[in-house]
């Protein structure tokens, strides 16, 4: 895979179009005119996490992502915890985004005159879209990355057309010094908004799972991680500024800010379905990207004996970890269908499962930051910047977790953190079993580099 294809994997996992469609309005409720600064601070925090990941990526190429990196500093226990929480994060984002794609694809079909509403349609679209996402990942990383790149570029292009058109429509009013001065905003409001801003970046480091499949991975992967995070951060700031400048206080009450903006500036009637399709495509790209990461982490675990060895083998033709991908894709579809049958709306499922998965990413990011400090300290490397970045990353992840549990939110968000903790404890039982019965497996955790995974299987 080339550098742009690696960046496509990272950007597709972030899903900037889907974030732009909702997050700016949510941050605006608390941060007001300071929304762009909330996004800016979130970008800085993510770049700090990214730098810690890059320190490892420059020296180690593996399909194990943070699971492998954390082992270099925190040993097998830290690596296993990072792997387990990252798998929770990737699966949560994939399953949640499938519901986002289902919701917007249903709206798109409705705008075209197809009555795609109701439980049957939602279940049918979940099976079709989830099946397609799984198929793309199995057929090859280059195919899935290119599909993700095309869909995300299409989606971002559609949104940029809308944003630029809105600024042109606003004329002199597009200049909004109140935002630059953060008038009426408080530090507390901006800090609270930064929490949502950080959640809009989860999955940004997913290119680090492609160490086996990248051209010149020691340079290409670090560049993909840092540049994708920076580019998306700039896009978030621009999108937030434009929505506030054009919609003003109406942004806080808009059910769909982009659609409201489109109607306000008088975009042609055909633009509404195009915009809806773009958001649906963005969500679909997010289903594909984390499934790729799941496949490669579990593949490495299979090689090391942490899970059954059959998951550590690749397809003879496509050379992808097909067994893992089939299981993960099918499970994502089943989980979503269970929620749908229980009476939940697709967008409710999106928010619930996404929140659960985000906790996994936060733990994994904190662990890789801590591991980076230990790793560089042992290696005698200059690590002043590592210490600064790790401190910011760990402190911020702790704050994000705290902000999501206190004050106690309404149901079901009050129980989601505990569901996450139960899932982590359940995953750790496997580690404790291996430590007691197969200590030789524990010794192999996180030590599988690219050079040990040549060929089929």
Give per-residue pLDDT as tens, 45-90: 999 999 999 999 988 877 678 898 999 999 999 999 999 999 999 9
DSSP string, 343-407: T--HHHHHHHHHHHHHHHHHHHHHHHHHHHHHHHHHHT---HHHHHHHHHHHHHHHHHHHHHHSS
Arithmetic mean of pLDDT over the chain: 89
Contact 166, 28 (CB under 8 A): no
> Looking at residue 176, what DSSP letter applies?
-
pLDDT-derived band of residue 130, with 50, 70 and 90 as boundaries? very high
Instruction: For residue range 431-445, list pLDDT tens digits in order.
Output: 999 999 999 999 988
Does 404 or 335 have the greater pLDDT score? 335
pLDDT for 448: 67
Q: What is the pLDDT of residue 449?
A: 56
- pLDDT per position as a tens digit, 380-403: 998 899 999 999 999 999 988 888
User: What's the predicted TM-score (pTM) here?
Assistant: 0.91
Residue 290 to residue 298: CA distance in whole angstroms = 12
Flag whether pLDDT at 289 surpasses 80. yes
- pLDDT the model gives residue 450: 46
- Measured distance CA(213)–CA(450) in Å, rounded: 9
Token pair belonging to 421 = 């903790």
In this structure, of 38-42, 109-113, 307-311, the range with the lowest mean pLDDT score is 307-311
Residue 457 vs residue 22, higher pLDDT: 22
d(C-alpha 181, C-alpha 187), whole Å: 12
Give the best-scoring range by mean pLDDT among 250-264, 397-411, 413-427, 435-449: 413-427
The CA–CA distances, whole Å, from 98 to 93, 122, 228, 278, 279 equal 8, 11, 22, 14, 12
User: Which range has highest mean pLDDT (9-13, 230-234, 287-291)?
Assistant: 230-234
Cα distance between residue 88 and residue 420, in whole Å: 8
Given a cut of 60, is residue 415 above it in pLDDT? yes
* Residue range 271-288: mean pLDDT, rounded: 90
Mean pLDDT, to the nearest integer, of 288-309? 90
φ, ψ (nearest 5 deg) of residue 53? -65, -40
pLDDT of 446 > 90? The answer is no
pLDDT digit string, tens, across residues 197-247: 888 898 888 887 777 777 888 888 899 899 999 999 999 999 999 999 999
pLDDT in tens, 343-357: 999 999 998 998 899
199 versus 41: which is more confidently predicted? Answer: 41
For position 452, what pLDDT does the model report? 47
């Amino acid at each position: 895979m080339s550098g742009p294809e690696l960046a496509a994997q990272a950007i597709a996992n972030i899903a900037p179009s889907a974030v732009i469609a909702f997050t700016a309005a949510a941050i605006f409720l608390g941060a007001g005119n300071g929304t762009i600064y909330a996004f800016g601070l979130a970008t800085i925090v993510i770049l700090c996490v990214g730098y810690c990941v890059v320190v490892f990526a420059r020296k180690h190429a593996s399909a194990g992502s943070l699971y492998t990196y954390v082992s270099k500093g925190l040993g097998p226990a830290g690596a296993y915890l990072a792997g387990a929480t990252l798998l929770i994060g990737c699966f949560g984002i994939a399953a949640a985004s499938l519901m986002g794609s289902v919701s917007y694809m249903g709206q798109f079909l409705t705008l075209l005159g197809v009555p795609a509403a109701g439980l049957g349609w939602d279940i049918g679209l979940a099976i079709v879209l989830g099946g397609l996402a799984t198929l793309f990942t199995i057929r090859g990383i280059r195919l899935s990355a290119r599909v993700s790149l095309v869909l995300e570029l299409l989606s971002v292009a559609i949104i940029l057309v809308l944003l630029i058109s809105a600024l042109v429509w606003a004329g002199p009013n597009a200049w909004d010094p109140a935002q630059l001065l953060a008038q009426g905003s408080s530090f507390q409001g901006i800090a609270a908004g930064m929490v949502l801003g950080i959640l809009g970046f989860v999955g940004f480091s997913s290119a680090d799972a492609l160490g086996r499949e990248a051209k010149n991975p020691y340079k290409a992967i670090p560049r993909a991680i840092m540049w994708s995070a920076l580019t998306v951060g700039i896009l978030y700031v621009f999108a937030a500024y434009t929505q506030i400048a054009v919609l003003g206080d109406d942004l806080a009450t808009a059910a769909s800010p982009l659609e409201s903006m489109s109607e306000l500036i008088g975009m042609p009637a055909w633009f509404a379905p195009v915009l809806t399709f773009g958001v649906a495509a963005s969500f679909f790209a997010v289903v594909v990207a984390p499934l790729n990461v799941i496949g490669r982490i579990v593949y490495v675990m299979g090689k090391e004996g942490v899970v059954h060895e059959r998951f550590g083998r690749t397809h003879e033709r496509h050379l992808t970890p097909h067994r893992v991908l089939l299981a993960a894709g099918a499970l994502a579809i089943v989980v979503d269908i269970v929620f749908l049958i229980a009476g939940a709306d697709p967008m409710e499922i999106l928010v619930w499962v996404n929140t659960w998965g985000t906790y996994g990413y936060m733990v994994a990011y904190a662990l890789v930051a801590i591991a980076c400090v230990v790793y560089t300290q042992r290696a005698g490397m200059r690590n002043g910047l590592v210490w600064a970045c790790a401190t910011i990353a760990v402190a911020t992840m702790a704050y994000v977790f705290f902000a999501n549990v206190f004050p106690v939110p309404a149901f079901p968000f009050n129980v989601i953190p505990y569901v996450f903790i139960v899932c982590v404890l359940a995953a750790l039982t496997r580690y404790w079993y291996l430590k007691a019965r197969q200590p030789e497996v524990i010794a192999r955790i996180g030590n599988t580099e690219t050079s040990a995974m040549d060929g089929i299987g």
